A and B are shown apart, each in its own frame.
Chain A
Amino acid sequence: MKKIIQGIALFLLLLISTVSWAQNKTVTGRVIDDKGNAISQASILVKGTQNGTVTNEKGEFTISIPSTAQTLVISSVGYGTTQVPINGRTTIEVILKPDSQDLQGVVVTALGIKREQKALGYAVQKVSGESLQKVSGVDVSTSLTGKVAGVLVKNSQDFAAVPVITVRGENALLVIDGIAYQNKTLGDISSEDIESISVLKGATASALYGFRGANGAILVTTKNGSTSKSGLTIDFTTNTMFTAGFLAIPKVQSLYGRGENSVYDQYSDQSWGTKMDGTVRQQWDPITKTNSMRPYLPVGKDSFKNFLEQGYVTNNNLNLGYKKDNLSIRNSFNWTENKGQYPNSKLQKYTYAFGADLNVNKFKISTNFSYARKSSPNIGANNYTSYDRMYSILIWSPTDWNLSDYKNNYWITPGILQQNHFGLNSNGQNAGKDENNPYFDSYEKINKISRDVFNADVTMSYQLTDWLKATVRTGVDFYKEIGEVKLSKGSVLFTGGVPVPGNGGVWNGRLVGSYNIGQNTGTSVNSDFLLSGDKEITKDFNVEYLAGGTIFFKRDNNINGGTNNGISVPGFFSLAASVGPANVGQSTAAQQVNSVFGRVGISWKKTAFVEATGRNDWSSTLAKAQRSYFYPSVAGSFVISELLPNTKNWLDLLKLRSSWTLSKRPASIYEINSSYSISAATWGTLNGAGVPGNLYSPTIAPTSSETYEQGLQAMFLKNRLMIDVSHYTKRVFDRITTVGLTQASGYGGLVTNSKEEITRRGWEIILNGTAIKNKDWKLDIGINWSTYASYYTKLDTVYSAKKPWVKVGERADHFISRDFLRDPSGNIIHNGSGRPIVKPYDVLFGYYDPKFVWGTNANLKYKNFSLFVSIDGVNGGLANTRTESYMWQSGVHPNSLSSERELDVATPGSSNYLGQGVKVVSGSATFDANGNILTDTRTFAPNDVKTTYKNYMFDLHNSSAWGGNGSKADTYSRTFFKLREISLTYTIPTKLLHNVAKAASISFVGQNVLLKAKDFKYSDPDGGSEDFTDPSVRYLGVNIKFTF
């Protein structure tokens, strides 16, 4: 490896030293169409370089070129590409003919190579920065939702939750300005800084990114100032939105109060008690802090809504661009703040980005650096097992207490003893069940986070000859992430599964308080060197080539600690406050991958395109013998319309594409290392040691996958309509996996390459069109649709799970859970008490993955007004609703007000609910290991035993947030669609601006505006799964943009 690189470096040295530097000259010109109209935003490129500019609105351009330059390449969206010989001129007028074959223009592909879309043998979809800047929310990923076929963005409604982006169902690599940073996320970038996003959907498209791009890549090109006009440009954007109503919010019944069996019980946290009918009962009085006799009424029926506060998101950006001659500089500042609905929840994000480009003759240098900080004094806790505040407000408390009375009133003895709605017992301790006062949870259970990321990159390129360019690119990032969980003394609940870095679930502090901290720091370095170029072999043949290498290195360090057995002083949160010796931990993980790669592309008459890539990696995470691995790809594209001369009047482009690629993913860090564990003071003063539980196969090779992709793209009617269809098949094999071994073998598991194969197949359809286009009106519509499913295509005879749903041809994303025993015709079988019997075997309920995902965007323009609407949705796929399951179990579900319940409560102790189904009269059945009936002598009769409504509902909705999927009744279809974004913009006419500003616009904007879900009624399924999801709120506000 080292020798090769040294060789290449030497070769370069020789090459460069033979090339002399040349003088610059300036060429000005104008680009017009065949009718003499100016073409703005046309791209001017010095052939064989990346030295370029764009025309202004008058079609004019100025470009500084080396005197050796021979030819300019001029292109524009909707027009053809023309090459103009310079012939020593300094003023050039260019006429471009409309040629719709580049409606899509050029797209950025792997390693930042700009290519014409028609030459691509794989699916790449581009999203303009502008469409992400219509509405600026907390995270730009939300604005990406529904805008790319095959990309699903899951937007959890929980406060501070980061949207999860998947490309074809998998996590894609994020590449920013050519650098595949390890520690940056899309949320670290301000939408205003984004010039465009290119999504490389499959492994072929991102083959040159190696294993990190094996699931596709999201390439972000940030604005770098070179597209702005000469001189100083200042852009200011402010987008502020306030919460305005709910798309989904849990509701509870307010008829029945506390109790477990139809009788009032002051110390019960269930709502299966008597009616709140005004009867005088003993209740806790939070004002006098004593028990008192009061009429029992649903005084807390609006507690949850009253608890929620007005939230807002403000996203403000200031951009300064400066351009003069061959230098461009850009600075961007962003401040985003999100006030959550729960008290004491706020999130702040700051970003600063700097970019500069310098072109000197054949040499080009561009550099970016940015800093992003995200912090929150308290993000709270989400989901049931972390004791989300819904746990104590909505679920485990009836509506018989008014939460507002407990606001600013959650202490009995400050710092020691809290006040909740159960009050105190005779010993002066918290009575009843363990439920924190929700205001205590807001102000005394603090989950503080901060994350700082700094990154910098330099790209230098040098045009060695007409046909060869050398590029060096290095990017570095650093991050530091701190999480703290503080719990005051007096909490009757543990911290819950609230994570800090390095500890996935802190679980301590009940009554005694706790302090926990974790800190991650890390860095990644990406260095590329590339030699690239293209050459015309004959008039018809053109060849492009690239060779290069990459070194990728990353290291992460964690230290974490937590108090043991409580904190010594109330309100003193530090490891020094630990009563017992503090628990501490640390970890380190490092990896390096060296790669060399190459690419050759051949085109014939701009009709047929073929390219091949190859890459070899050396990964530190594999054993020496398996460390080096190679993966190739081949892609082709054929423009059929070039051969159909009689269709030119209606068919602009018809292209077929096809590709194949092999990609490999090495083991993750230390995944295949066998190591010992040490336990301190395991017996008295003696320490102990443990051997690894897993045996590691000595020949673990990378996980491999093979992807085939075919596609068709067509453009019609002068580019008014574009359709693109893709189909892909991805077969994953040799998956590194841990399979179970019998403990009699001495090990619990074996880490090996499984012979099991899972194949994912999918379709993607993109439809873009301009439905209306005239002097005043323009309507653009884009539709994205995609579907995929994964199947077992081969099983490992030894290690594949022996389950009925694990079979060749069956879906691999099975959703399994427990159902009730049923008779041959499907009726639920009841036991002697009239309650349904749970089948002691897992049953297949369906599948996790949606049937299809879609999104549509429309932009209607009328004179200075434009209306932008973005709608997206998910169809099918299963998800549990934890919220509703627990609403049923605790007795607060609004649908639980049945006549049987009324009767149960009227006569406590009576049973009035008759379950629909059967009971076993005689006989018995035997089952095999999968629950299939082997013998059955049972005879059935309709169930005639009544039970209480509570018992039956409890059985029907029984599920546990602590493990397993829920019951069938709480397994919902994820189907929903959402009006994601809306913006109505008025662009202020230039003459009204009186030279105060160059451009200005004002928009009324909304995000998360409307939701229609098939099954989910009380919560928003947008996050893909549902576990005490915060109420889904609508954001409405104003967006103002100024350009000075």
Chain B
Amino acid sequence: MKNFKYIFLTVFTLVILNSCTKKFDELNTNPDVPTSVSPDLLATSVLRSTFRFWNPNPTDWGTAQLFAKHCTNVSAGGNPYQYYGSYYPYGGFGWYQNLTSTKRMVEFANGNPALPSYEGLALFLKAYWGYYITLDMGDIPYSEAGKAEDGISQPKYDKQADVFDGILADLKEAELKFAAGVNFSGDIMLGGNAVKWSRLCNAFQLKVLQTISKK
């Protein structure tokens, strides 16, 4: 009879003590997804989503960036791209969501010798996205874009003139960063060659200046 008491108590205490010691933080970490990544992985994805050929519209093959220098599209009807530089007569801020990726890319590159190049890439891409978005829509958020983490969930719209100033400043800074000449990995466009990127930043400034100059 007395044994029941001991069985009871043993089970009672074991059950309680055993289950209480699990570490909650460890438990709440999903083992199937990473909580940190390397900057080159982010660079690859961002470059792919920026320069990848997206639109399945057959007339794209004639007009979009990739094939324009190789073929000509001859069609009787007009095509929205000719008017808007876009297939859809409206713009979007989709590219700006990548600002979080480039921000993380730079953070994860901290301590990496290629840090200046990743910083340059982040600046170049922001300028590149801002350039095409402002061409679509005029006044757009630029100086406050991509700052939700800093509490700016509704970034203010900058005047287009200020956007271009910002773009040129960012391109100039990007050119300087790449000028440090450290090659980086994860680059699907120019093979991570910082010198080429530096030249591209320079050339792109000319393109921007050309765009804003009076014809």
Binding site for B on A (CB under 8 A): 1-2, 5-6, 9, 12-13, 16-17, 21, 360-361, 363, 458, 460, 462, 470, 472, 474, 525, 527, 529, 549, 551, 553, 586-592, 594, 618, 620-621, 624, 627, 669-670, 673-679, 682-684, 686-691, 693, 695, 741-748, 750
Contact = CB atoms under 8 A, between A and B. Distances in A.
A678 B37 contact: yes
Contact of B37 (A472, A621, A676, A744): A676
B183 to A, nearest CB: 15
A675 B33 contact: yes
Interface stretch (B4-12, B66-74, B79-87): B4-12
A606 B53 CA distance: 78
A686 B27 contact: no
Contact of B20 (A2, A17, A21, A686): A2
B19 A527 contact: yes
A689 B45 contact: yes
A684 B15 CA distance: 53
Interface in B22-60: 22, 24-25, 27-38, 40-42, 44-45, 48
Given A620-B28, A743-B96, 4 more contacts: A458-B11, A627-B24, A741-B148, A744-B140
A5 B17 contact: yes
Contacts of A525: 19
Contacts of B9: 12-13, 16
Contacts of A12: 9, 12
A691 B104 contact: yes
A586 B32 contact: yes
8 contacts: A5-B20, A361-B1, A470-B12, A673-B30, A689-B37, A742-B141, A745-B152, A750-B148
A748 B32 contact: no
A738 to B, nearest CB: 13
B8 A363 contact: yes
B154 A683 contact: no
B4 A363 contact: yes
B32 A688 contact: no
Nearest to A589: B30
Name, among B11, B141, B153, the residue most crowded by chain A CB atoms within 10 Å (CB to CB): B153
Contacts of A686: 40, 44, 186, 188
Nearest to A593: B24
What 6 A-B pairs have minimum CB-CB distances, sorted nearest first?
Answer: A688-B45, A689-B41, A746-B146, A745-B148, A620-B24, A744-B93
A178 to B, nearest CB: 15
A474 B188 CA distance: 57
A553 B41 contact: no
Contact of A745 (B17, B45, B153, B186): B153
Nearest to B35: A675
Contact of A675 (B22, B25, B34, B94): B34
A16 B30 contact: no
Interface residues of B, number: 60
Contacts of A695: 148-149
A676 B105 CA distance: 12
Contacts of A9: 12-13, 16-17
Contacts of B193: none
Name, among A360, A689, A695, the residue most crowded by chain B CB atoms within 10 Å (CB to CB): A689
Given A676-B37, A690-B45, A745 B27 contact: no
Majority secondary structure of chain B interface residues (helix, strand, loop or mixed): helix
Contacts of A688: 41-42, 44-45, 48
Contacts of B97: 693, 743, 746-748
B155 interface: yes
Nearest to A618: B24
A833 to B, nearest CB: 22
Contacts of B35: 674-676
A592 B19 CA distance: 9
Nearest to A458: B11
Interface of B: 1-2, 4-5, 8-9, 11-13, 15-17, 19-22, 24-25, 27-38, 40-42, 44-45, 48, 92-97, 99-101, 103-104, 140-141, 145-149, 152-155, 186, 188
Contacts of B15: 472, 474, 527, 529, 551
Name, among A16, A587, A620, A745, the residue most crowded by chain B CB atoms within 10 Å (CB to CB): A745
B2 A742 contact: no
A674 B36 CA distance: 10
Nearest to A460: B8
B4 A670 contact: no
A699 to B, nearest CB: 13
Contacts of A693: 97
Contacts of A750: 148, 153
Contacts of B16: 5, 9, 527, 529, 549, 551
Contact of B155 (A21, A472, A683, A744): A744
Nearest to B13: A9
A745 B154 contact: yes
Nearest to B20: A2
A513 B21 CA distance: 49
Given A527-B19, A745-B152, A691 B101 contact: yes
Contacts of A462: 4-5, 8
Given A620-B24, A746-B146, A678 B41 contact: yes
Contacts of B100: 691, 746-747
A5 B20 CA distance: 9
Contacts of A679: 45
A525 B20 CA distance: 12
Contacts of A472: 8, 11-12, 15
A746 B147 contact: yes
A460 B28 CA distance: 32
B154 A742 contact: yes
A745 B147 contact: yes
A620 B24 CA distance: 5
Contact of B141 (A21, A360, A591, A744): A744
A674 B37 CA distance: 13
A683 B95 CA distance: 19
A1 B24 CA distance: 13
Contacts of B145: 744-746
A688 to B, nearest CB: 3
Contacts of B1: 21, 360-361
Given A746-B100, A746-B147, A2 B45 contact: no
Contacts of B36: 676
Nearest to B21: A2
Contact of A746 (B17, B21, B148): B148
Nearest to B188: A683
Contacts of B22: 553, 592, 620
Contacts of A16: 5, 8-9
A460 B149 CA distance: 52
Contacts of B101: 690-691
Name, among A13, A621, A747, the residue most crowded by chain B CB atoms within 10 Å (CB to CB): A747
A830 to B, nearest CB: 27
A270 B147 CA distance: 54
A682 B35 CA distance: 19
Nearest to B41: A689
B153 to A, nearest CB: 5
A13 B13 CA distance: 10
Contact of A590 (B5, B27, B94): B27
A6 to B, nearest CB: 7
A37 B195 CA distance: 105
A676 B44 contact: no
Given A588-B32, A683-B48, A746-B147, A360 B4 contact: yes
Nearest to A591: B27
Nearest to B103: A746
Contacts of A363: 4-5, 8
Nearest to B30: A670
A746 B118 CA distance: 18
A1003 to B, nearest CB: 45
A741 B149 CA distance: 12
